[in-house]
A and B are shown apart, each in its own frame.
Chain A
Amino acid sequence: MSSRPDINSATRWMNENRALLMLVALFGFLSLTAHNFLSLHNVTTILKGACLNGIAAIGFTLIFILGQLDLSIGAVVMLCGMLTIGLQPSLGWTGSIAVSLLSGSVVGLVNGWLVVRARINAFIVTLGTMTIVTGLMHLYSGGGSRAVTDFGFADWLERPLLPLLPPIVLITLVLVAVATVVLHATRVGRNVLMVGGNPETAWLAGIDRDRYLMAGFVLCSLSAAAAGTLFAASLSSMTSAAVLGTRALMTVLAAVIIGGTMMTGGKGSVVKSYFAVLMLTTLFNGIGCFGYGFEVQIFVNGLILAVVVLYEAYAIYQHELLKGQRQDLVAEAEEGLTGVWCEEQEDPEQEGDEMMQKDRFPLVCLTMVSIVGIVAIAAMYLNSNKAPVTVLAPTQAQATSAGAAAPTDATADVFALRGTDGQPYILPQQAKPSIPARPDDPGALPETDAGHWWDIEYAGWDVDKVPMPASPRDGSPGKRIVLLKAGDHPYWTAYVNGFTAMAEAYGMDVKIYNGNWNLDLQAQQTEQAINDRPDMVVLAPVDATGCTPLLRRMNKAGIPCITSNTIPCDEAMKYCLAWTGPDDWGQFRMLARTLADAMGKTGGYAIVRHMPGSSPFFARTYAPITELGAYAPDMKLLAMDTANLEAEGTMQLVSAWLTKYGNELKGLVLAGDGFSMTGTLEAVRKAGRKDLVIVAAGNSKTGMDSIKAGEALAITYQSAEGDGAIAVHSAARWFTGETLDPVIYLPKHIITKTDVDNYMPAQW
């Protein structure tokens, strides 16, 4: 009886090719179960979606094979994407791409030099460069996003040359192929594998390890730069929200591991990493097809990675048991001698008797994890069926019953619908606001002049829209509407509540995709939405400039689109019917005046800003600055900075300001009334400055509680449910044939202690 561990060759083959097998299995499963999955358009979407991570994974695999780590690839993707777009107007595409790739190489050189020459640990070095490069990227972009109006290149990249193969996918495949061939078929490639796998032998063989490591880091950053460049070029814009980079790093890391490259080095394959990236992209796409949210995607992502990591550990354990053994001799011994000798040979082994139990332990745990995973997914599936999100399928019954109640009845009713805070979702159409004339050259004006920001503040008012699809003019009952929401946040939960309530009132069917603040993901989801062929798409952009190509694609596909919540740039406004949402700039002008009045139009103030890469980053900073500049010129702006909406960060920032400026600082403007308010109130409390006047953007529970307690003076009223409802309401109006104004604002109001009770309980 032998308990000699043996991974038979079938298991080994399955393990070696697990990425490809998982991809094929997943693809097959989804084709059979998810409708709309197996279409030319959707498969192309998956291939396109795998480009960013796929190209970055090429370099990352190389670094892993060399036994090192590079955490900075996410930041390099963002920086190089930003450079590509930012320099395009002055240098053209060739110039900006060249500069961007060069900068990527420079970052790689720095990484390599620090690891090889200064001999600092790669984890440390790349953690540091990740922070530095992120800071550089934010500096260069100024916290905003960039876009170019030239869509020629982007279109060329996206249009399929052969079925399923647009140039961007072809470029990715070519790069993957070249890398694979070089790695496995050339001497240089084999040297790389040797340097990573057995540095001592490599040194003995005369291979210059330092040079290979240096080259590895440069190639890794270069591939990340290429990924970022192609991504930005395909969208003709780049966002500065750092989440894109962080997600890319995590996805690439998971993919490379799942693909079979180990962190210890010496073994790996670029093509397997690419298959793993494809598998993860297919997974996310498929889960989106079912209508499940991001939570399922990331849960399954984590589960797959966990299983793979466990299996790797098991494989290493098996391998170590075999260390030093001569397989052929042991096999001989098994066949020939069946006596005591054979078994005694195994006993002195390190692990001894426990070997038998341990042999099964990993397998048992693997099974357990898989069972837990399956149960969890089943639970989520069952639970999600009760969720208000329905799969796109208009029902006959709904059409006839809602049709009996004529559209006019629905219109009269919807104004009476109230949200959880007791306020009506929407008010009857207000008069179109009058806006000032556009200055001739806004860019030439100083930042403190309101005219400088005209294009951003009044985006959409002055554009010529491209030809739009015609309205069917048959009302809303039975219409299918897809919501591409920006991400998860309690505000958005309330938004979706208002959205679905209004849609139900109109008899519309709703399907929701969650972009999770990731432009890459939202781009893919746009394609999926087009694939669904709904009657209307409501897009809540992740990025104000990055949404332009998305709207363009939908317009070209003949699908009407309304943008919501975040005001897109002028260029994007051309391609959508209308934008609905809160008047961020106007609200903050009102808020600024409230602050000035409370401060007697004199004194110093500071601004806690929103997150860079979001549209409130500019609105909630420069609206108060320009307004106060005109309304209360005696007031002085002392400081402005962002704490990324974190409570502890805000607390630290405000405390430092209070120490530095003392009594000169009399007022604070906050870009958010949630965590920012909490942190600010802590800092104010500790400093004992009850005299400070605080105003913020609202209106969350935290903010309203602080108004009630008298700790803050005023917050803006921004009904999240109303935000969702007004988008649906505008869609319904369009379905009846009405022409929509290009910009439709939610009602504005400043909440103070006198009327805060009217808005309780809070929506979020």
Chain B
Amino acid sequence: MRRLLSHIGTLGVYGVAVVLLVIGRIVSADFLTGDNFLTILNAVALLGIVASGMAFVTYSGHMADLSLPSIMAFSGTIAVATLPWGLPVALLCGLAAGLCIGAMNGVVVGRFKANPILWTLAVAFFMEGFMRFTWSNNQVYPDTTPGSSGEAFIGIFRLSVGTIPVIVIVMLAMLVAGQIVMMQTRFGRETRYVGSSRAAAITSGIDVPQVVLLNFLLAAFAASVAGIFITSMNKLGVFYLGQGYDFRAVTAVVIGGVMLSGGRGNMLGVLGGVLVIGLLTNIMTFMGITSFRQNIVTGMVFIAVVGLQQYALRRGGRSYE
């Protein structure tokens, strides 16, 4: 029973997912089709990739990384801008660009112990200014003549293995890999320790700045991958891509049981959180609820689910807040 309660976060979100599946079936006969599931997975694939990175930041007790959207835009735009050097080089440049920002974040938050929310907010501001300035507020288009690397680049988003798009596979792979890293590696356990109690982690001899740096690097990596996909999808790179993904990712991560205080939850929960958001939106569209009311429902579901999780943790004696 205790073990059960300790997994209440993860179980909780899958419970909600099951409830949504039932509601969806009642709403429409087309809901439980493979096609529809694929649509839902497709819709939340990007969110899932970003959430897999954000989860590490939250798990290590740093609440949220508000600079992820600008990392997405930056890595994607750099990737497009460097396409003339060939597709693999361009992808590497894009990833490297994102990782640089992540490294900066990790050093400042880890070594200098700056407040993560405020620092990443500052980074989001000056990255936006920097990107606007560098590309003169314009969009950057890849050269898509057939046979060029540009064409291959925009094809990235459109690849699929059979009927399943590559982006969905990447999302699932990243979430599974994230789960392994979080639960099975020493780094993952150290992250949990840092998230649960930073002071205790320092006293135990864990190299906290290093751990934090790696966490932010992982988040930036996920954001860079997502950035490449979103740029590939939109066939252009621009500074306002990815806006809104910071709060959306935090929503998915927290619904999935990774509490904001840190040190709780796991990646499978994050997958559940992403699925819940996708299912909810899909059902509401089926019901003909327009986006204004959808916002209201999403907000209420979010508060309710997370509130229940926190309540369960308290009742189970696992948390004092």
Binding site for B on A (CB under 8 A): 114, 118-121, 123-125, 127-132, 134-136, 138-139, 143, 250, 253-254, 257, 263, 293-303, 305-306, 309-310, 312-314, 316-317, 350, 361-362, 365, 376, 380, 383, 488-490, 492-493, 612, 639-644, 646-648, 651-653, 655-657, 659-660, 662, 675, 678, 682-683, 685-687, 701-702, 764
Determine if B282 and A299 form an interchain contact, defined as CB atoms under 8 angstroms apart. Answer: no
Q: Tell me, rounded to whole Å, the shortest Cβ–Cβ distance linking A420 to chain B.
A: 13
A297 lies within 8 A of B129 (CB): yes
Q: Are B286 and A660 in contact (CB under 8 A)?
A: yes
Contact B115 A263 (CB under 8 A): yes
Given known contacts A120-B303, A124-B254, A294-B132, is B112 in contact with A678 (CB within 8 Å)? no
In the complex, which residue of chain B has the Cβ closest to the Cβ of A114? Answer: B303
Nearest CB on A from B281, distance (A): 7
Q: When the two chains form their complex, are residues B234 and A678 in contact, meaning their CB atoms are under 8 A apart?
A: yes
Tell me how many residues of B have a C-beta within 8 Å of chain A.
Answer: 78
Contacts of B130 in A (CB 8 A): 295, 299, 376
Nearest chain-B residue to A136 (Cβ)?
B296
Contact with A along B108-128 (1 / 0, CB 8 A): 100111110111011111111
CB distance from B270 to the nearest CB of A (A): 15
B196 CB to nearest A CB, Å: 16
B141 and A639: CB pair below 8 A? no
**Smallest CB–CB gap between B71 and chain A, Å?**
14
Complex: how many Å from CA A652 to CA B39? 7
- The 8 A CB mask of B84-119 against A (1 = contact, 0 = none) is 000000000000000000000000100111110111
| Contact of A128 with B299 in the complex, beta carbons under 8 Å | yes
Contacts A120-B303, A305-B122, A686-B42; A647 near B233 (Cβ below 8 A): yes
Instruction: Determine whether the beta carbon of B136 is less than 8 Å from that of A493.
Output: yes
Segment touching A, from B6-14, B75-83, B287-295: B287-295
B306 in the interface, Cβ–Cβ < 8 Å?
yes
Q: Judge whether B185 is part of the interface by a CB distance below 8 angstroms.
A: no
Instruction: Render B179-206 as a binary contact track against A, CB cut-off 8 A, 1 for contact.
Output: 0000000000000000000000010000
Q: Are B300 and A648 in contact (CB under 8 A)?
A: no
- With contacts A299-B126, A660-B30 taken as known, whether A257 is within 8 angstroms of B118 at the C-beta atoms is yes
Q: Across the interface, which residues of B come within 8 angstroms of A309, CB to CB?
A: 114-115, 118-119, 122
A302 touching B129 in the complex, CB below 8 Å, given contacts A127-B302, A143-B292: yes
Partner of A131, one of B63, B165, B296: B296
| Residues 117-158 of B at the A interface (beta carbon under 8 Å) | 117-119, 121-130, 132-133, 136-139, 141, 158
Please list 10 pairs of residues, one from A and one from B, whose beta carbons are closer than 8 Å in the complex, sorted by A's number.
A120-B310, A121-B261, A127-B247, A131-B302, A135-B293, A299-B129, A302-B127, A662-B30, A675-B234, A678-B233
Mark contacts of B42-65 with chain A using CB atoms, 8 A cut-off: 1 yes-contact digit, 0 otherwise: 110010000000000000000110
Contacts A317-B113, A493-B137, A659-B286 known; 20 new A-B pairs at CB < 8 A: A120-B307, A121-B310, A124-B254, A124-B260, A127-B250, A131-B298, A135-B292, A135-B294, A139-B293, A302-B127, A305-B125, A306-B119, A312-B114, A490-B139, A490-B238, A642-B291, A643-B291, A647-B234, A655-B43, A659-B30
Decide yes or no whether B207 CB sits under 8 A from chain A.
Answer: no
Q: Which chain A residues border B122 with CB–CB below 8 Å?
A: 254, 302-303, 305-306, 309
User: How near does chain A come to B289, taking the closest CB pair, in angstroms?
Assistant: 9
With a cutoff of 8 Å between Cβ atoms, the chain A residues found around residue B210 in the complex are none
Measured between C-beta atoms, what is the minimum distance from A259 to chain B in Å? Answer: 13
Residues of B close to A361: CB separation below 8 A:
111-112
Cα-based distance from A640 to B290 in the complex (angstroms): 8
Q: List A contacts of B28 (CB < 8 A).
A: 660
Task: Given A128-B299, A299-B130, verify A313-B235 contact (CB < 8 Å).
Answer: no
Looking at the assembled complex, report how far the CB atom of A372 sits from the nearest CB atom of chain B, in whole angstroms.
Answer: 10
Q: Shortest Cβ distance from A567 into chain B, in angstroms?
A: 24
Q: Is B314 an interface residue (CB 8 A)?
A: yes
> Please, which residues of chain B bring their CB within 8 A of the CB of A316?
113
How far apart sit A295 and B132, CA to CA, in the bound complex (Å)? 6
Contact A651 B295 (CB under 8 A): no
Which of B114, B293, B302 has the most chain A CB atoms closer than 10 A to its own CB? Answer: B114
Closest 8 A/B residue pairs (Cβ): A299-B129, A302-B125, A302-B126, A135-B295, A131-B299, A295-B132, A132-B299, A652-B43
Given known contacts A263-B118, A302-B126, A309-B115, A127 and B251 CB-to-CB distance under 8 angstroms = yes
- A390 to B140 alpha-carbon distance, docked (Å): 26
Are A124 and B292 also in contact (CB < 8 A) when A297-B129, A655-B42 are? no
A119-B310, A125-B303, A660-B30 as given contacts; A303 in contact with B126, CB under 8 Å: yes
State the CA gap A305–B67 with chains docked (Å): 14
Note all chain A residues with C-beta closer than 8 A to B124.
302
- Verify B46–A124 contact, CB threshold 8 A: no
Tell me the complex Cα distance, A17–B278, Å: 48
Chain A residue contacts of B133, Cβ below 8 A: 295-296, 299, 380, 383
Chain A residues, CB < 8 A from B113? 313, 316-317
Q: Which of B240-297 contact A (CB under 8 A)?
A: 244, 247, 250-251, 254, 259-261, 281-282, 285-286, 288, 290-296
Closest to B70 in A: A302
A190-B3 Cα distance, complex, nearest whole Å? 45
Q: Which listed residue, B36, B117, B233, B285, touches A648 by the CB 8 Å rule?
A: B233
A639 vs B289: C-alpha distance in the bound complex, in angstroms? 10
The answer on a CB contact under 8 Å between B307 and A114 is: yes
- Distance between Cα atoms of A125 and B42 in the complex (Å): 28
Q: Is B121's CB under 8 angstroms from A254's CB?
A: yes
- B39 x A299 contact (CB < 8 A): no
A648 near B43 with CB under 8 A, answer yes
Smallest beta-carbon distance B119→chain A, Å? 5
Q: How far is the CA of A687 from the CA of B130 in the complex (A)?
A: 39
A32–B269 Cα gap in the complex (Å)? Answer: 58
Q: Is there contact, CB below 8 Å, between A298 and B132? A: yes
Contact for A293 among B30, B123, B132, B290, CB less than 8 A: B132
Complex interface: chain B residues within 8 A of A310 (CB): 108, 112, 114, 119
Complex Cα distance, B35 from A324, in Å, reads 64
